[in-house]
Structure 1
Amino acid sequence: MSVPGSYQAAAGPSSMPTAPPSYEETVAVNSYFPMPPAPAPGPTTGLVTGPDGKGMNPPAYYTQPVPVPNANAIAVQTVYVQQPISFFDRPVQMCCPSCNKMIVTQLSYNAGALTWLSCGSLCLLGCIAGCCFIPFCVDALQDVDHYCPNCKALLGTYKRL
């Protein structure tokens, strides 16, 4: 007759009953630590006397081997950091982000806010006969666009106002 919850040995070729698993094996406590090797039999066991006078083995320290990087697989990546460029009313020497060539920018002048304010101011002062359009001919009063001479890409703009 079997009692529920009692331990019975598995029937097999050996009729010797086996012990149940230990608590650590059942719960898997400390299963991530490596198991120390069994001590080697010999005349010198290296026993150390503990505080209670009983002999005990010295503590074993284990280290995990560190993987060595493959010398053939070393990749070196060079990163170039380009500082932001401030555009003014003069050409700038720079590396074009479109074509990746060293260039000196080409300038193009366009009417901007300062040009129109100058034109309006001249109209208010009485220059209505056409003199009010003089700011559209003066590059120092217009906004500046910087272009790449190779790929014609717009690189930046300098606004006067």
Structure 2
Amino acid sequence: MSAPPPPYPGKGQEAGYPAQPPPPQGYGQPYGAPPPAAYPAQPYGQPAQPYGQPGQPGYPQQQGQTTVVVAQPAVTVVQQFRESPVHTRCPHCQAEVVTATQFETGSFTWIICLVLCIVGCDLGCCFIPFCVDGCKDVTHSCPNCKTVISRYNRM
């Protein structure tokens, strides 16, 4: 192979400008050429190590892998205590239970009774809401410790 041709003297050198400096060592090497002797070969994706021996200043210490833990937000399940029993955890005895339900007379029952009395159902028919569970409030209690867990009001 012969030597490369001399550089083209472009307009800059004719006008008195200095020639551009040659590129730094290691740039412009053909693909697959060994790296310059100043830098040791590194595995793919690894940063180049500076000069020096382990334990000396300027030499990075070997570090372990860093594990990033991302905490997921807690999922809060809101249970709706309505007419039917609910599978839940009792806040008092911490047992997994199906609540015991009990129907009790509430304000909605009395309002329906008053409306029926005003309409003209005053011969005892106005007391029908006291016999219908759909007009009463529902109390949910724990079957183990018998404490009230929740109350569903119709109003």
TM-score, normalisation: structure 2: 0.50
- Any residues of structure 2 matched to 1:8-157 within 5 Å, and which? 60-61=57-58, 83-157=77-151
TM superposition shift of 1:84: 2.8
Q: Distance in 1 between matches of 2:133 and 2:58?
A: 79
Change in Cα spacing, 1:84 to 1:129, as seen in structure 2 (3 Å) is: same
Identity within the alignment, %: 44
**Over 3 Å off, 4+ runs:** 60-64
TM superposition shift of 1:113: 2.4
Q: What's the C-alpha RMSD, in Å, of the aligned pairs? A: 2.6
Q: Distance in 1 between matches of 2:106 and 2:60?
A: 71
Change in Cα spacing, 1:100 to 1:126, as seen in structure 2 (3 Å) is: same
Q: Distance in 2 between matches of 1:94 and 1:82?
A: 13
TM superposition shift of 1:151: 0.2
TM superposition shift of 1:129: 2.0
Q: Could you give the per-residue CA deviations for residues 8-32 of structure 1, whole angstroms, max 9, x where no partner exists?
A: xxxxxxxxxxxxxxxxxxxxxxxxx
The alignment covers a number of residue pairs equal to 90
In the alignment, what sits opposite 1:13?
none
Q: Which amino acid aligns with 2:94?
A: N
TM-score, normalisation: structure 1: 0.49
